[in-house]
Amino acid sequence: MTDFQAEKQIVRAFYQALDNADSQRMPEVMSDHCADDLLWRGFHPFGEIRGAARVGTEFWQPLHYGLTRLQRRMDVFMAGHNMFDETRGVWVCSMGHLMGLFDRPWLNIRPTGKMAFLRYCAFHKVAGGRIVETAMYFDIPHLMMQAGLDPFPPQTAAHLVQPGPLTHDGLMFDAQPAEAGRKTLALINAMVAVLGQWDSRMPLEQELAQTWADDMLWWGPAGIGATYTIDRYAKQHSAVFRAGFGERSRTRHICRLAEGHFGGFFGWPNFSATPTGGFMGMPATGKPGDFRVIDIYRRQEGKLAENWVFIDLLHFWDQQGVDILARTTGIDEACVYP
């Protein structure tokens, strides 16, 4: 059995404190559980924030102010050694939704007074009994769509409030068999080696079938959407995506891990590519852009069965000279927590 129980408990205690504190105490909670010089990476317009208290002030307080009665609804919770860290550093990952009542503006998105879901995934590096590094990615365009806004042209697939794993076994609070995690990580590595480079020289569906189940589920971000089966994934996302870009860099990740039948990774960025036209209905710019991505996978026997994907599309298009937030909300500067 793999034993990351101490690190898992540190993150669970952090979540319990964070989820039960009022907005005024967010900086204090962050300082209680995280290193003073915490490195926090978040989606645009937040970017990198250095310092635990600053994260509480700049991210968590405004979010709690806008989405009241915030509730964490986790679908995946796992931990593992980062395969890129020679010191075998331990990271704890959680994925799900932050649900609340959208009562006040957040990032100038008009509130609805109704339930809203902010889809998120977070990787936390734990060392010395504290969280020392975090990558927290969240689907702001999906929240915008729930508020009746249209940040992007019609997407090629469908986007929904996304469910957790079909098998309902993603919350791994207990220790898991080590061999299961090794198999999952090996399968993810095999997939990245083939698909992550775009140069297998075989038909796309055949390329996908090497590591993906035929009835795969790909839960993509708002603006692209989710799709089901290899055939529809190829038609509704993968082929469209590849056709829309040139000069793609190699894949690079900061952390990649697995536990049990689940695994994932993130990069900052994962890769860079130059739009050649057609992606998300946007014209070619000739400007290379970075893709900041989190991928979470579920393995079923020898194939990948589900994939939850977080892409910082606001950041990508900002690099292309398009401020999606300002264009969609009609406000140039984001409001701040009072």
Q: What are the per-10-residue average pLDDT scores of the chain (338 residues)?
A: 90 98 96 98 98 98 97 98 94 98 96 97 98 98 95 82 96 97 97 76 91 97 94 93 85 96 97 87 87 98 97 95 90 52
Nearest-10 crossing angle of helices 26-33, 5-20: 170
Reduced 3-state DSSP string for 11-72? HHHHHHHHHHCCHHHHHHHHHHHEEEEEEEEECCCCEEEECHHHHHHHHHHHHHHHEEEEEE
Q: What local confidence, expressed as pLDDT, does residue 3 receive? A: 86
What is the number of other CB atoms lying within 10 angstroms of the CB of residue 307?
20
**What is the distance between the alpha carbons of residues 125 and 242, in angstroms, rounded to a whole number?**
32
As given in the structure block, the two tokens for residue 329 are: 């909300």
pTM metric for this prediction:
0.95
Query: Residue 304 forms beta bridges with which residues?
Result: 212, 299
Residue 211 DSSP symbol = T
Note the pLDDT tens digit of each residue in 273-320: 999 877 888 888 889 999 999 999 999 999 999 999 999 999 999 999
Beta strands 130-138; 34-42: pairing state: parallel
**What is the distance between the alpha carbons of residues 96 and 311, in angstroms, rounded to a whole number?**
15
Q: What local confidence, expressed as pLDDT, does residue 18 receive? A: 97
Q: Residue 53: enclosing H or E segment and its boundaries?
A: helix 52-55
Q: Which CATH class is domain 178-325?
A: alpha beta
| Fold matches, 5-153 and 178-325 | yes
Q: What local confidence, expressed as pLDDT, does residue 240 receive? A: 87
Q: Which CATH class is domain 5-153?
A: alpha beta
Domain range annotation of the chain: 5-153, 178-325
**What is the distance between the alpha carbons of residues 55 and 57, in angstroms, rounded to a whole number?**
5
